[in-house]
């Protein structure tokens, strides 16, 4: 139960940060290109690399709660793309290149198809 609360609290903070940054970018640089989302994904991925790297280097394994709060919760709430990026790099570092490529391909293609199918389903309802 504690793990769920840590992830939830971190996720709420991350989601609020994402919304705040997206709103700020939208006000400062209004455009039709999804710049805010791109920036959030880049920032989140860099932060995930720094946070996971520092935690692996300096924190004992008993600090699982901090990892759940920061990496899974806050950064996951900020952008799940950072989690996707971490999973991909872990596969690459393990030498599982075919699995990493398949994961990237399926994540992008299947998620786009899934979103499009969801839109088609709602459009047929009206």
| Tens digit of each residue's pLDDT (9 = 90 or more) over 101-110 | 999 999 999 9
Cα distance between residue 99 and residue 78, in whole Å: 26
Q: Please check if 76 is assigned to a binding site.
A: yes
pLDDT digits (tens, 9 = 90+) for 62-111: 899 999 999 999 999 999 888 899 999 999 999 999 999 999 999 999 99
Q: What is the pTM of this model?
A: 0.80
Q: Please check if 77 is assigned to a binding site.
A: no
Nearest to 40 by CA among 77, 68, 7, 5: 77
Supply the pLDDT for residue 62: 86
Other Cβ atoms closer than 10 A to 47: 18
Supply the pLDDT for residue 61: 84
pLDDT digits (tens, 9 = 90+) for 14-31: 999 999 999 999 999 999
């Amino acid at each position: 139960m504690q793990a769920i609360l840590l992830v939830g609290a971190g996720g709420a903070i991350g989601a609020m940060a994402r919304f705040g940054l997206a709103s700020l970018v939208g006000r400062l640089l209004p455009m039709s290109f999804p710049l805010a989302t791109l920036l959030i994904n880049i920032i989140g991925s860099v932060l995930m690399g720094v946070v996971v790297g520092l935690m692996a280097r300096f924190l004992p394994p008993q600090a699982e709660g901090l990892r759940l709060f920061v990496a899974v919760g806050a950064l996951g709430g900020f952008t799940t793309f950072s989690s996707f990026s971490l999973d991909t790099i872990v596969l690459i570092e393990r030498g599982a290149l075919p699995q990493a490529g398949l994961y990237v391909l399926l994540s992008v293609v299947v998620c786009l198809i899934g979103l499009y199918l969801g839109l088609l389903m709602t459009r047929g309802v009206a």
